Amino acid sequence: MSLYGLPVLFALFVWWFSTGLIIFLDVLPKHTFRWSMLGATAVLAAALYGLSLSGADTSVSGAYTAFTSGLLVWGWLEISFFMGFVTGIRTESCAHGCRGWRHFGHAIQACLYHEIAILLMAAAVFAITWNAPNQVGAWTFTVLWIMRLSSKLNVFLGVRNLNEQFLPESLAFLKSFLTQKPMNALFPFSVTLATIAATVLVQRALAAPDAFAATGLTFVATMLVLAIIEHWFLILPLPFAELWNWSLRGRASTWQGRLAFAAKRAPHPRVDECRT
């Protein structure tokens, strides 16, 4: 049982904690972003090295290293986007009433550089792991890439829960590209295809010939299942966002600091004004 249970628990914790950590860093004061990005870039370098190091390692520990490295590479892309370092050529909201392909084109412009960065990072990951016996990191990155693209399309086309409270103030213009409605036509296809793929991965993990293959396939299958659950978070009328409400404390402290600063700068009323 530990052969499958431990990778599932590890992936579940890393998914929950890393998501919350990115949100927490993104809602801190903007002057902290350069330090967060510098730290994330150092982690990215370590993750790419981890992919290179684990490529020839077909042990269970090699699967853990490759999985964690692939996840950290994706984390850098998330941080670079939500902190506004790598976004797109459009940095303003769409005009009210903008619809159709024109609106879709504006949405692409808003994240164009980020999509290019994903392509370049994918090329780096695939180049590092090319023909390596350990492909867990590349598989992990690919699953995150495909499912993130699916979620982007779904929130553009329309879902119930947009969770826009997690967007930092600097990216508030992106709210104009989010559509709120019970469901869109793409959603059933996205979830169905992903569920079929997850089922195949689980079956292969259970029939894996050795511990390395079982661990690696379990990692990838778990991340795909979690991504499917995240898709359901978008449409079910339940407060799933509370899973990461702890990460918004940075925003609360920021606003408290601004209010305190404003209070200090505000002129004190004179005594005679107080008496009136």
CA angle 168, 155, 226 (to 5 degrees): 85
Q: By CB neighbour count within 10 A (0-12 exposed, 13-18 middle, 19+ buried), where does 215 fall?
A: buried
pLDDT of residue 1: 62
Amino acid at site 179 = T
pLDDT of residue 274: 38
Amino acid at site 3 = L
List, for residues 190-217, the tens digit of each pLDDT value. 999 999 999 999 999 999 999 999 999 9
Contact 196/240 with Cβ under 8 angstroms?
Answer: no
Q: By CB neighbour count within 10 A (0-12 exposed, 13-18 middle, 19+ buried), where does 265 fall?
A: exposed
Contact 214/4 with Cβ under 8 angstroms?
Answer: yes
pLDDT of residue 89: 94
Question: How confident is the chain (276 residues) per 10-residue block, as mean pLDDT?
Answer: 88 91 87 94 97 95 96 96 93 85 92 96 97 96 96 94 82 89 95 97 95 96 96 87 72 46 44 39
List, for residues 147-192, the tens digit of each pLDDT value. 999 999 999 999 998 888 778 888 888 888 989 999 999 999 999 9
Contact 64/6 with Cβ under 8 angstroms?
Answer: no
169, HSE (Cβ side, Cα atoms, 13 Å): 11
pLDDT of residue 251: 56
DSSP state of 20: H
